[in-house]
Structure formats: C-alpha cells, structure tokens
Amino acid sequence: MNKKEIHPRTASKSESLDQRSEALLAKMTLAEKIGQMSQIAGTGGITAGLRKAVQQGKVGSILNEIDTDTLNELQRIAIEESRLGIPIIIGRDVIHGFQTVMPIPLGQAASWNPGLIEKSARVAAIEGASVGIHWTFAPMIDITRDPRWGRIAESLGEDPHLTSVLGAAMVKGFQGEDLANHDSLAACAKHFAGYGYSEAGKDYAYVNIAENELRNVVLPPFKAAADAGVATFMTAFSDVNGIPATGNEFLTRKVLREEWKYKGFVVSDWDSVIQLTTHGFAESEKEAAFEAVAAGVDMEMASQTYLYNIEALVREGRIDESLIDECVGNILRVKYALGLFEQPYTDESQFPEKGNDDHLAVARLAALESIVLLKNDYNVLPLNADHQHNIAIIGPLADDGHEQMGTWTFDGVEAWCQTPLKAIRDMLPGHVNIHVARGLDTTRSKHRKGFAEALEAAAKSETVILFMGEEAILSGEAHCRADIDLPGVQNELLAEIAKLGKTTILVVMAGRPLTLDLTRQHVNAILYAWHPGTMGGPAIADVLFGKSNPSGKLPVTFPKHVGQIPIYYNQRMSGKPATAQSFTYIDDIPKRAPQTSTGNTSFHMDAGYEPLYPFGFGLSYTRFYYGEVRLSDHEFRVGEGIEVYIDLTNIGEVHGAEVAQLYIRDRFGSITRPVRELKGFQKVWLHPGETRTLTFQLHSDDLAFYNRQMNLVTEPGGFDLWVGGDSNASKHAHFKINQ
C-alpha cells in the first residue's frame, strides 16, 4: 500500500461536527447509512467478503482486528474504493491496559486515586492507538453489590460516587486532551444500564430494579461519564424490568437523549440486538432491528439484523428515515471528532514503544496503590529482609504472569509480567534462602499431591508467604461463582501450613471479594492484590518488605458468608435494624427459646449483620488520627454549600497515604435514604508526625436525589456527616438544610 503522508489526526476546525455530519449525510443512500450502523467482528485478515462489504459501504466499524497493516488496508479500501470514502472506526476491549496491563478495574478502584487511574487509561490509549484502534469499550461502570457476578472484576465497585469519579477519570485518560489526537481512544460507558444487578450474581440474568434505585444508584456514574464527554455508550445484555436494555426507550431515549441531551452514539453489546428474539421480546430478527433502532441504538455490534432489515422497515414506513439519519449523524460526529477523515491511517513509528519504562512505571504504581492490607496481626508486616534467613514462597499464583493479568487482557504481553516470586528473588539479599513450592497445580485443584512439598518448604522457613486466590478465568464475563471461598483445596493447604506455627502471610490475587472468614483465622496477615497486572510482582514485593506502604481501600464490601449477599454499606435502615445487642450466634440460642430471643431485627443468626471487611477499609503500616469535624456552617439553604474541615495526623513511624472519606446521611426523606452515602474523599500522603487540615466542599446539590415524585431535588431537613478512613467513619457532625 502506498503510505499516505502520516500526520496526527486533526479534526478540521473550520466547520462544526454537526455541519460536517449533516453535509455528508445528505449525500448518503439509505444502504450507506445502514452500513454505518453496522459493526462487524474482525476474523483476522481481509476475506473477499469483508473486502466487498467495505467497498459497498456496509461496514461502519470493525472490532477485534488489531493488525496495523490489515487495519490500514481496510481503511484504504474504505477511503479509496467505496463511493463516499467514509473511514471505519476500529473498536477493541482495551479495558485495563493494552500490552502493558494495569490492575483489573476493581483493583484500580482500590487506589481511590483518580489521577493515577487517568494515567493508567492514558497508557492504555497510547498503546492501543499505536496499532490502529480508535475506540475502546471501557470504562465499565456498572454498580454491583454481588461478588458472585464475574464482571465485578471489571467494575469500579459498589458505590455511585466513587464509580462516578473514577469512571470519569478513565474517560479522560482514554480520550486525552482532544479526541482528534492520534493517541486518543473514544471511550464507551457500559453497560447501560443495570447489568450489575443480575439476579443471583448470574451473568445475563434478569434485572429487577425500581426506578428510584436505578436513578439514585445505577445511573449517576453514567451521567458522570456523559458529563466527562464520553464519546459512546454501550447497552447491556440485560432484561431490565421486562424490557431488555437494547430495546429500552426509557434508558436510551428518555434518560440518555431527552434528559441528558447526550450527543454521542450508542452501540449494542455483542449480538444483544438479535438476542431480543431470544429474550422473547422480538418475534423475529426484523422485529429485533425495529425495537433496537426505535429505542435509539445507533450501531449494532456483531449481529447483522440492521444490515438485512432496516431498509425494508423504512420502505414499509415502520421506521422513518429521519430516525436513521439521527443514528448515522451520531456516529459520523464521533468519526469527525476522532479526526478519522483527516487521518484514517496509523503509523506505529509515531508512537512510543509499547511496554516502555514509563508505561511499566505507571503499571507498577497502579498495582502498588491497588493493594489493600486487610490484616496485619502484631505488625508482622512489613518483613525485614535483613532478619530473614529462610522464606517459603508457596502457592499456584506466586509465579504465573498470565494469571496476574486478570480478565479482559486479550493483548497483554505475558513475557513482560514480573511475578511476585521473581520480584522477591530480585529483592532479597543473598543470605536469604527461598524455598519454593507450588503446592497446587491451579487454584481449583482438588488433589493434595503437592501438599508434602509445600509443608516441607514451610517447615524449613521462619516466614511463609502464600500466593493464593483465583485464576483469571474464574472472573470476568460469564464466569460467576455461587461459592466465593478460596477455590479448590487452598484453605486445606493453608490450614495444614498454619499448624506449623510460622509467620504466615497470605497474598490474595482474585477478581472479586472472597469470603475469607475461615481463611483469615489461619494467617497473620493478608494483602489483597486483586489481579495486579504486568507489574504486580514488584508492587507486592515492595509492600511485603516495606519499600512501600500499602494505601488501598476496599471499593466493595467483603461479606463473611456468600449467604449475606447483597451486603453493602449504603443500605437502607429498615424499620427494625440490627444492633450489636440483637445478634445471637445460632448455636447459643437455647432450645425452645422465645421467638424474641434473637431480637427480631434484620440480621442472619449464623452470620450477623456486619461484613467481614467494610467498604472503604484498608490498613497501613502507619496509623492516622482524625481530629474533630468542623463545619463552616451547621445550617444552610438549598442552593448553598458549606465547608467541612478535619485535621488528619500521621501518628505512626512511617510515611503513608490515607484516604479520608466523607459520608452523609439524610435523616428523613420523601423516600427512605441510605444509612450512609459517600460524598467526598481525599487521598493524602503524610510524613510521621505531619498534620494536614483537609477541606471538603459540600453543596446542597451533592445531597440531591430522585424523590417520591421522581424529581431530582435536595429536600430540606437534618443530615448526619461522618469523616474517617472507611464507611464506619466515626468523626461526626450534623447540619440542617432549609428551603
């Protein structure tokens, strides 16, 4: 192919995106318009059929082709051999890194660091764009409170405020300063909406969700993404209250277009248009196409119902061509914004080398700040390498680069992964003997044949570091678990090792919260590393041996028992809430106990009412002290705001970061309100003895919710406010809002 003069994509500034889109639209035939609404899955290479379809203008987008030469040739065919020369937009799931892999999004969320998350997405965009990708199907901002659901791994956790802030940061990182920059990717807010409420944590299952829950919990992160300028949305597979999201006018027309005035385009999920027939929502593929277009789904991913049915629907008068023009206009505006008409081709030499030191440094920092210290009895961590003589490194995840990358890492380069074992070996002084034993083939292994070797390694050592958890395949799309204990016989191995009485540290790699109530009784310390990505090993080693102080905080509640799910911090009060007094262990209840003996409140007799670890929780190698909360005012009006002050001091011996979290409770509302809601957070690094006064801005708009009349309002009344290091924050104040 004769290489055109390659230069960064620069969108023409002379005409507006609307003007350019409308001008092109006016030239298009109906068939060409429908072509823009079709995204096909790349099959590796250019078949005769694909070449012909591109020449005929039937391919608006391609996903899952990443060979640069192939992409440039497909663009050349589209530009030079189709009638109107409209460039193709290339999509790919660049979810948490391209070849340099960052922690899974749930792990990134544990950093509570929007700036770092933006940087991670920026690296992902640069590497993805370098091969010719223009569009990533991220961020996934589905709120979920069900760790059985495999896709919790891709989410940013259970909280609307945290997901809103971090999701917007990802959008900015992917899209960069200007979509037309050659290293920008159009982002995609997904999955619109409610997918994280899949019944029983089973993927693709029914979603039953009240409108006020949808509007007050599920939709805010999508609104934040739209406000951040996200270029596209993706509809969910889910059947939402009986109307699948891919045919749901309430979501993609009323909310997204009428209320939010959204101007980007909406793509379906993979085959989710044709699946409207499977749902029993559309009687035929033609009806599926009708329902999806009528609902405002601009582009169909993978299935081809649009290509084969929309022309007839328009000819029959069932769909007005003006609706098609709207869809195509939405798509063309994004293509113009991306500068694809100016520069559809990619030259990898214009980009920095993938996996370069800067990218790996971001991946290492992202992994470091994602690590949550859950337990540290007697401050066994950090380990002092100089005092170690024999260390056992045991478990199936100590040295497995593929597994530590986690789910949705099609393009991650395993060879670049630095595992914990390698990093520990590189870090420890020569006098330390490292005894390695895998113990189990995989995290799912049911046999004990490796136990003896593991126990032998442990017996020789003063310190045992276990690397256990879930392989990457145990989370992600369609990979849900009904039991979220450590899989296989990991707990059994751990219990055997615990009997040796060594200092035992557990490092967990997993794509979800696991139920560790029994597990934690056998170990002195627990580091939760999620799936930490390419540089997980050095990050974990730095924390284990004190080169870095862990700062992660949980973005999701950890249940004691799977039977507690859904369990989350921002629950409603109930008319009979559990209290510390009401909880009775099931086996303590005397025979024929009176019905009221367990307090008749809201809890499980065999699990209580509290989680294992609460939302926002995370320990440090230092300690932080919160002073009293001070308010600039204790009364203000709707439309006004106050400042919240608190002094935070590092009262420990080492430098460290704390995430100070601000929660409120609306004491009374026209609908019941959560017992707590996160409304602000600040991650601060403090030296030993250092005190900093933190200031939070709190405006009455921050307290607005969709009320009984389904209006977004701040209702006057009394509020509680807390500031602290997790969702059990205790430094309290109260204020009143007047009309």
| Residues near ligand GLC, by CB under 6 A | 93, 137, 190, 269-270, 477
Least gap, CB of 356 to ligand GLC (angstroms): 27
DSSP string, 614-634: -TT--B-SS-EEE---EES-S
Q: How far is Cα 318 from Cα 237, in angstroms, rounded to an integer?
A: 25
- Collect all residues with Cβ–Cβ distance below 8 Å to 48 and sequence separation of at least 6: none
Helix, strand, or coil (residue 29): coil
Q: How far is Cα 727 from Cα 661, in angstroms, rounded to an integer?
A: 8
Amino acid at 338: L
Q: Name the residue with tokens 């520990």.
A: 424
- Is 269 marked active-site? yes
607 to each of 257, 517, 572, 581, 734, how far by Cα in Å?
Answer: 45, 10, 19, 14, 32
Q: How far is Cα 528 from Cα 542, in angstroms, rounded to an integer?
A: 14
Helix, strand, or coil (residue 544): helix
- Collect all residues with Cβ–Cβ distance below 8 Å to 283 and sequence separation of at least 6: 277
Q: Which of 276, 255, 271, 258 lies closest to 189, judged by CA?
A: 255
Q: Which is nearer to ligand GLC, 118 or 269 (CB)?
A: 269
- As to burial, measured by CB atoms within 10 angstroms (0-12 exposed, 13-18 middle, 19+ buried), residue 485 is middle
Q: How far separated are the first and last CA of the chain, in Å rounded? A: 68
- Collect all residues with Cβ–Cβ distance below 8 Å to 260 and sequence separation of at least 6: 223, 226
- Collect all residues with Cβ–Cβ distance below 8 Å to 563 and sequence separation of at least 6: 604, 606, 607
Q: Which is nearer to ligand GLC, 221 or 420 (CB)?
A: 221
The answer to whether the beta carbons of residues 97 and 120 sit under 8 Å apart is yes
Residue 385: other Cβ atoms inside 10 A: 18
Q: How far is Cα 188 from Cα 151, in angstroms, rounded to an integer?
A: 16
The answer to whether the beta carbons of residues 24 and 333 sit under 8 Å apart is no
Least gap, CB of 161 to ligand GLC (angstroms): 23
Backbone φ/ψ region at 585: left (φ over 0), alpha (ψ -120 to 50), beta: beta
Least gap, CB of 269 to ligand GLC (angstroms): 5
Q: Which of 142, 183, 269, 411 is catalytic?
A: 269
Under DSSP, the state recorded for 710 is S
Phi, psi at 393, each rounded to 5°: -115, 110
The answer to whether the beta carbons of residues 367 and 440 sit under 8 Å apart is no
Q: Which of 115, 125, 132, 50 lies closest to 95, judged by CA?
A: 125
Q: Which is nearer to ligand GLC, 57 or 91 (CB)?
A: 91
**Long-range contacts: 410-414, Cβ < 8 Å, 24+?**
410/92, 410/93, 411/66, 411/92, 411/94, 411/98, 411/99, 411/128, 412/97, 412/98, 412/99, 412/100, 412/101, 412/533, 412/534, 413/99, 413/100, 413/101, 413/354, 413/355, 413/534
Least gap, CB of 196 to ligand GLC (angstroms): 12
Under DSSP, the state recorded for 721 is E
- 3-state SS of 234-250 is EECCCEECCEEHHHCHH
Amino acid at 215: R
- Collect all residues with Cβ–Cβ distance below 8 Å to 16 and sequence separation of at least 6: none
Q: Which is nearer to ligand GLC, 104 or 394 (CB)?
A: 104
- Find the Cα–Cα–Cα–Cα dihedral 661, 140, 486, 146, rounded to 10°: 70
- Collect all residues with Cβ–Cβ distance below 8 Å to 382 and sequence separation of at least 6: 543, 544, 545, 546, 621
Residue 357: other Cβ atoms inside 10 A: 9
Residue nearest to ligand GLC (CB): 137
703 to each of 282, 402, 574, 715, 717, how far by Cα in Å?
Answer: 40, 44, 21, 8, 11
> Do you find a cis peptide bond into 193, omega within 30 degrees of 0?
yes
DSSP string, 301-312: ES--HHHHHHHH
Active site residues: 269
